[in-house]
Structure 1
């Protein structure tokens, strides 16, 4: 048996209309954007359908039943964290990988930290997980140089930087050309005729509130859709709660009433239960920007110019590993509202050649990685 060790649902939610917000978060791993990562493996691993999707609980059952497992695929994401919760989760993961004692193919392993600090060290369970993956892998795909450096500190040498697998969802040979054309066409339109995607703000940064406030101001003046991924706004979006969440009330523009804020959120917030649906909507838009990698990657892979608002070392590290087009926090917060689209188009077009070059380089890296791991 070959298994794909992950959550039960890879890139879509079955019967989403009967699922509560808490159900949706449980199914997606607390972030709908996680689906982008997993969806990408359909395009990277040709034989992915021959792998049985197994969750971590069922994995332990297979071990107890002594079922022989030939190979394990892992879509890892931000497993290498530094919290007590990460330590608990990683002990479970490490034991399962050790007990399977089967070849592992690990995609996109990432270190999750609020800042890049050379003094950071993994906790014992997180280090144990990393070493278990390394021991059973020919080579590990990691998302950025920061993760690579931390793995080297604990003696792991068989890792290579690949960026995020979601960077390769779009396999069209005209992908980059279409992006350039879309950006040029979009910037020529009147502001009133443009349709924007704004990615959900990412909390935990001292500038998060400022970005949210600026985004709400922009939403008030433009044809914008605010795409959510996390638990914060989901209960309100699904009519489970009548109250606007506190991060939004606390960071609303001074000249915006609570009633106006609620109206904007009711009318302009969208959420999707599958990557395909998210991408299908995205292609109808002109421009995407926001604080989240996957919130921008999905529109980008749909052929829509997308720009990351670079706000912390974690996000910046991943964006730099892929040369994902970005704009500085100060430039975004300092721009006049009507200047924001032109700022984004300009930055996107200026950085697109580097993104194209880096994407091709990472594509070659992924091909070698897959060959080395015999998938």
Structure 2
């Protein structure tokens, strides 16, 4: 029996409800994180394998426990090379240095502007160097999301093809070597799923808004945790910036009950399979459609989306090519929705080669088309939570149920956090008092010594 520890705060077999997901941040701030983690679970789960989520507990003090319990630590990451992730990167580095088992990083990327100047470097360069060096002591090679990240690590002194290689996003390999994107007839009556990012430029929000008007049978699929909170209990609003991004409960798409927030990948895939098109500015919102066989159009907004769009051949329109006159129907007319299929086989083979170089066991070891997939068998036994509909579209009874479920639990969590903060403050005060006493005694002894002289 092999025991794998995986970086994940939610197993595909967990059935956390909205309250638990919100209060424990089981999605790491963005439900899109679940998609690439889902893929890694499916790829590595075999009859003789147990996969355990670390539930984002990567405290260096766990090193002895991890060494004792697990045979390998698999760390799928997104755009972890960014300033806001530095504290976590440092903790991971400390932990990895203490581990005696293999540690494999799958799919890490750099967060940077659409056209980054890698020669200038970043404030977190040393932290990235330390992290990558620690990982390479525990594995043969690190897997990157795209060429921009590869160029960045090469700038830092790591060798492409030796220390690191581009594998793209593991989510693209969820169902193996083949992609089969459906030929759908996209008409004004088609069901369309929409995703967007508050961080996209205003003109991209305008384009998405116009597209939703063109295709009225649409469903908006938000991904931020704060959007789940607003969808579930009605407040607070996500933003207030006068853009056309759906950001408050009074927005039309919420009031018309055309929002679905997914708590797991299984129901997300099942829903998006019914659509004729997915479009928007979210990476995993559109990748979920792509691996489900649904035509998808992505609007990359930064380097991390750009490098993945290029590597996987995702059907796209660049934000810089969008004007106030750009219509979604015209873009659809010119788009090749089968573009991702053309790169899939070669990318998948390279991904499997990466896994093999790191001595990782997986379901594709013997064949690219395994007849028996343990993950699928186990997943079929799970009764997954349904997607969350906006509270504005619920019955009064459902509203009350949500409020009575969420707010008492939120108050308990808030009280616990306050108690923890008070303990920390008391500890700091104690340390300061001890330091003050030591300093006073030291000063008194110094004065007494001077007087004796």
Name the TM-score class by shorter chain. 0.7 to 0.9
RMSD, aligned α-carbons: 2.7
Report the more deviating stretch, 105-114 or 10-19.
Answer: 10-19
Match of 2:349 in 1: 364
**Counterparts of 1:58 and 1:149, CA distance in 2:** 28
Once the 2 structures are TM-superposed, how far is the Cα of residue 150 of structure 1 from its aligned partner? 1.6
Once the 2 structures are TM-superposed, how far is the Cα of residue 109 of structure 1 from its aligned partner? 1.2
Q: How does 1:250-265 map to 2 (within 5 A)?
A: 250-252=242-244, 262-265=251-254
Asked if the contact 1:8–1:27 (Cα under 8 Å) also holds between the matched residues in 2, the reply is yes
CA-to-partner distance for each residue in 1:142-164, whole Å, 9 max, x for gaps?
10111111212222222110100
Q: How does 1:297-336 map to 2 (within 5 A)?
A: 297-335=287-325
**Counterparts of 1:66 and 1:302, CA distance in 2:** 35
Please tell me whether residue 112 in structure 1 is matched to residue 111 in structure 2: yes
Please tell me whether residue 96 in structure 1 is matched to residue 95 in structure 2: yes
Higher strand share: 1
2:176 is paired with a residue whose SS is: coil
Once the 2 structures are TM-superposed, how far is the Cα of residue 171 of structure 1 from its aligned partner? 3.4
Aligned pair partner of 1:171 in 167, 176, 184: 176
Match of 1:294 in 2: 284
Please tell me whether residue 231 in structure 1 is matched to residue 225 in structure 2: yes
CA-to-partner distance for each residue in 1:86-110, whole Å, 9 max, x for gaps?
2211110101111113212221011
Please tell me whether residue 196 in structure 1 is matched to residue 195 in structure 2: no
Q: How does 1:339-350 map to 2 (within 5 A)?
A: 339-349=327-337
Please tell me whether residue 241 in structure 1 is matched to residue 202 in structure 2: no
Match of 1:214 in 2: 207
Match of 1:6 in 2: 7
Asked if the contact 1:13–1:273 (Cα under 8 Å) also holds between the matched residues in 2, the reply is no
Aligned pair partner of 1:140 in 117, 142, 148: 142
> TM-score w.r.t. structure 2 length?
0.70
**Counterparts of 1:13 and 1:342, CA distance in 2:** 42
**Counterparts of 2:51 and 2:21, CA distance in 1:** 29
Once the 2 structures are TM-superposed, how far is the Cα of residue 56 of structure 1 from its aligned partner? 4.7
Distance of aligned partners of 1:60 and 1:291 in 2 relative to their CA distance in 1, 3 Å threshold: same
**Counterparts of 1:141 and 1:348, CA distance in 2:** 28
Asked if the contact 2:220–2:253 (Cα under 8 Å) also holds between the matched residues in 1, the reply is no
Once the 2 structures are TM-superposed, how far is the Cα of residue 356 of structure 1 from its aligned partner? 2.3
Once the 2 structures are TM-superposed, how far is the Cα of residue 2 of structure 1 from its aligned partner? 3.5
Once the 2 structures are TM-superposed, how far is the Cα of residue 28 of structure 1 from its aligned partner? 0.7
Asked if the contact 1:143–1:163 (Cα under 8 Å) also holds between the matched residues in 2, the reply is yes
Once the 2 structures are TM-superposed, how far is the Cα of residue 141 of structure 1 from its aligned partner? 1.0
Distance of aligned partners of 1:348 and 1:109 in 2 relative to their CA distance in 1, 3 Å threshold: same
**Counterparts of 1:58 and 1:77, CA distance in 2:** 16
Once the 2 structures are TM-superposed, how far is the Cα of residue 313 of structure 1 from its aligned partner? 2.6
1:51 is paired with a residue whose SS is: strand
Asked if the contact 1:3–1:72 (Cα under 8 Å) also holds between the matched residues in 2, the reply is yes
**Counterparts of 1:320 and 1:360, CA distance in 2:** 15
Match of 1:160 in 2: 165
**Counterparts of 2:153 and 2:220, CA distance in 1:** 36
Deviation >6 Å, runs of 4+: none
Match of 2:426 in 1: none
CA-to-partner distance for each residue in 1:111-165, whole Å, 9 max, x for gaps?
1223421222443223211111122111211101111112122222221101000
Once the 2 structures are TM-superposed, how far is the Cα of residue 236 of structure 1 from its aligned partner? 2.3
**Counterparts of 1:235 and 1:137, CA distance in 2:** 39
- Number of matched pairs: 348
Gaps of 5+ in 2: 361-453
Distance of aligned partners of 1:135 and 1:152 in 2 relative to their CA distance in 1, 3 Å threshold: farther
Match of 1:50 in 2: 50
**Counterparts of 2:111 and 2:320, CA distance in 1:** 24
Once the 2 structures are TM-superposed, how far is the Cα of residue 59 of structure 1 from its aligned partner? 5.8
Once the 2 structures are TM-superposed, how far is the Cα of residue 303 of structure 1 from its aligned partner? 0.8
**Counterparts of 2:19 and 2:228, CA distance in 1:** 14
Gaps of 5+ in 1: none
Q: Find the structure with the greater CA-based Rg.
A: 2
Once the 2 structures are TM-superposed, how far is the Cα of residue 293 of structure 1 from its aligned partner? 1.1
